[in-house]
Structure 1
Amino acid sequence: MVDLSAAAQRQIAQRGTGAAGRVRSLDEIVQARTKALAGTLTERLARLGVPQDEPIVLRLDDLGQVKTDSPYRKGIEAFAAETKAARDDAARSAAFRALHNPADDVAGVGGDDDAE
């Protein structure tokens, strides 16, 4: 059980009891961030001329840089390198997914492909 201070209780009361004021589960946070990131990436990749009907796998390397094996690699990686917000969103999404399911190697973060 968590005891909230009077100030915290007032803030919660001011926000109301609707969906906007409720506490979201980690699942909901992961889904919302992933959906927002997917929308942003879809829009920006379309501007780069990347076809929407091909799956693209994005990974984060050890330095936090976005990497891909797509035929459009140069454009995608350049976009990600120039766009700090996209890189940060990808890192946050990967971190949330890793917290949610630590057994998975999410987006190449923390994985060791050579280990058996």
Structure 2
Amino acid sequence: MAAKRILIIDDEADVREIAKVSLEITKNWDVATAASGEEGVTLASTYHPDAILLDVMMPKVDGLATLVKLNENINTCKIPVILLTATIRLATQPAYVEAGAKAVLIKPFDPALLGGQIESVLGW
């Protein structure tokens, strides 16, 4: 079975690196990263990930706007997206689900558990 391909879109370099290394080590997945929503949308169409981890709070194009762009693109609309956020308020969750997010994970996440959480919410 081929390794899962994960795309991490987060403006914080340390978060991208921790998540990338964690998924490569714990799950042996192929992981690509993008530092902005725009870069992530472009990369998603060429990299064809099995799932996307998307930060909600980013400058310029935030996670919700990025999610909408991914869903509008025929090449990326079927890719499951899991949102990452440090500032989850219950009132905002329905908006994420309505926009197509499969789940919302809270930052800081536990690098040792991240792969398992992704597998769990996506039913892998």
Q: Normalising by structure 1, report the TM-score.
A: 0.27
Higher normalized strand content (fraction of residues): 2
Structure of greater Rg: 1
TM-score, normalising length from structure 2?
0.26
